Amino acid sequence: MGEGDCHGFYVLFLRVTKQYLPHVARLCLISTFLEDGIRMWFQWSEQRDYIDTTWNCGYLLASSFVFLNLLGQLTGCVLVLSRNFVQYACFGLFGIIALQTIAYSILWDLKFLMRNLALGGGLLLLLAESRSEGKSMFAGVPTMRESSPKQYMQLGGRVLLVLMFMTLLHLDASFFSQPSQQ
């Protein structure tokens, strides 16, 4: 297979998948919310009992919390995937992240905090993708003189997504420390 054949295959592949890749990318970015919303449905009583036990707030308030989480996450996912009111959906999902961080007392758990920040990074990327910008001289190519909010959102989202992968690293602290001199 020559170099021209590879290039032709690549161009054909991009043409065929061009219409599907943005949808797949959005699905990947919101998959955690989708999974969590579905899990809330199937583990309703366990989630409600956990919130009631942890916060001693009563059956009605705990049920309302679980319902708000379920509805907020699934509605946000549907809106993002359908590309309707994406900015409102992202802000709602940001609210869900904040609410869960407080309600499940995971603010002080570094691993969960980094994962929540990574979820926020994914939402920032969705927000940036949903923003429209004026036409540039070359479509899709950023100019060096301009710095738009969209570019800052993309940078922030990408940096925060790295945090998700950092939670997968299990580095031993002794690896970084130098041996003591005796």
Residue 142's alpha-carbon distances to 14, 109, 145, 148, 160, in angstroms, are 21, 38, 9, 9, 21
pLDDT of the residue at 157? 79
Report the candidate in 149, 158, 100 with the shortest Cα–Cα distance to residue 125: 158
Domain edges within the chain: 11-133
Which pLDDT does position 140 carry in this prediction?
44
Give the pLDDT confidence score for residue 135 in this predicted structure.
Answer: 47
pTM of the model: 0.73
Position 52 scores a pLDDT of 93
Residue 14: is its pLDDT beyond 70?
yes
Tens digit of each residue's pLDDT (9 = 90 or more) over 63-96: 999 999 999 999 999 999 998 999 999 999 999 9
More confident residue, 64 or 117: 64
pLDDT exceeds 70 at position 1: no
Burial profile 43-68: b = 16 or more Cβ within 10 angstroms, e = fewer: eeeebbeebbeeeeeeeeebbebbee
Q: Which residue has the tokens 């927000």?
A: 127
What value does the mean pLDDT of the chain take?
80
Helix ranges (H only) for 2-143 are 3-17, 21-42, 44-55, 59-82, 86-103, 110-130
Q: What's the mean pLDDT in 25-51?
A: 92
Where is pLDDT greater, at 92 or 162? Answer: 92
pLDDT of 18 over the 70 cut: yes
**Which pLDDT does position 172 carry in this prediction?**
52
What 3-state DSSP class applies to 7?
A: helix
Say what percent of the chain tops pLDDT 90: 35
Higher confidence at residue 52 or residue 3? Answer: 52
Q: Is the pLDDT of residue 141 over 70?
A: no
